[in-house]
Copies of this chain bind each other. A is one copy, B any other.
Amino acid sequence: MSETEPPGPSAEVQIRVRYAETDQMGVVHHANYLVWFELARSEFCRAHGIDYRQMEADGLILPVVEARVRYVSPARYEDEVIVRATVIEVRRSTLRIAYQARRGDDILATGETLQILIEKQSNRPRMFRKEIAGRFSGQV
């Protein structure tokens, strides 16, 4: 899409803009892009064999601790938008993902999140299991 796009394992999801996602400016409200990024993240997990539902059932959560969005061009009701998530860093307990939302060849927004793996009961960081880290890194 662009020379600045990060390399790394990725996944894409296609969405159609919902009426409820617009605001009175006539375009998608900016908070929804964080929701869209999450959809691409969920798709990444499904596509790479990571069962996030099971992770939560096992007492682990992966909350977002940092998020950034750069809004380039507005999205409108009924637009077909492709959102891509690319894993750019996997460390012991953290996961950094970059995002790009586009409509055809138009970039709508880019962004990044940092997540940390937490054991829910103790509220303490936990290391990713080797197999899971490998899947996020695109090595499985």
Contact = CB atoms under 8 A, between A and B. Distances in A.
B66 A70 contact: yes
Interface stretch (A1-9, A20-28, A87-95, A125-133): A20-28
Contacts of A69: 66-68
Nearest to A123: B74
Interface residues of A, number: 36
Interface of A: prevailing SS: mixed
A30 B23 CA distance: 12
Contact of A39 (B18, B56, B71): B18
Contact of A68 (B25, B61, B63, B67): B67
A38 B66 contact: no
A65 B56 CA distance: 26
Contacts of A16: 42
Interface in A92-109: none
Interface of A: 16, 18-20, 22-27, 29-32, 34-35, 38-39, 42, 46, 52-53, 56, 61, 63-71, 74, 77-78
